Amino acid sequence: MKYIGLDLGSKTLGVSISDELGFLARSYDTFRFSEDDYDSAVDYLINICQKEKVTEVVLGYPKHMNGDSGIRASISVSFKEKIESKSSIKVHLEDERLTTVIVDRAMIEGNVRRKDRHNKKDEMAAVVILQGFLDKKSF
């Protein structure tokens, strides 16, 4: 089964996708939208899911380091509800604490240029989110 991973921001949606067996995540795209225009991001996602024949999505759930949920977490829950109300796609929330730090360090160590890091960080964070979900699922 194929999965899509998401890193939701206020103006970007980082997207990753798994292989057919649901073992490995890879980057897919970064969708840019007007600030807080989550409806267009939902429509974009539903189109990708139809094109790629994906029925389950893993959405990053941004908690604070102490485990509390804040405004960004509430936005992710609302985004999940919009997806599920407009489609038959099942959405899993996945803790995304430290994903941006992991991605930044990996890209710096890989000598990725600053501009390229900025352009790819959201979809690479989506890869980390999805791979974490896939790794837990396979046990």
Output the CA–CA distances (angstroms, integers) from residue 46 to 8, 21, 34, 52, 55, in the order listed: 15, 21, 18, 10, 10
Interatomic CA distance for residues 75 and 87, integer angstroms: 18
Question: How many percent of the chain have pLDDT more than 90?
Answer: 66
Q: CA quadruple 119, 130, 101, 112: dihedral positive or negative?
A: negative
The string of pLDDT tens digits covering residues 39-73 is 999 999 999 999 999 999 999 998 867 767 778 99
| Mean pLDDT in residue range 92-99 | 85
Q: Identify the domain containing residue 24 by its residue range.
A: 3-137
What's the pLDDT at 74?
94
| Mean pLDDT in residue range 70-82 | 94
Q: How confident is the model at residue 84 (pLDDT cuts 50, 70, 90)?
A: very high
pLDDT surpasses 70 at 139: no
> What CATH number does the domain containing 29 carry?
3.30.420.140
Number of domains comprising the chain: 1
What's the pLDDT at 126?
94
pLDDT surpasses 90 at 9: yes
Interatomic CA distance for residues 98 and 37, integer angstroms: 25
Q: CA quadruple 77, 81, 20, 108: dihedral positive or negative?
A: negative
| Mean pLDDT in residue range 21-43 | 96
Q: Average per-residue pLDDT in the chain?
A: 90
| Mean pLDDT in residue range 112-126 | 80
What's the pLDDT at 64?
64
Residue whose structure tokens are 């759930």:
61
What's the pLDDT at 100?
73
pLDDT surpasses 80 at 12: yes
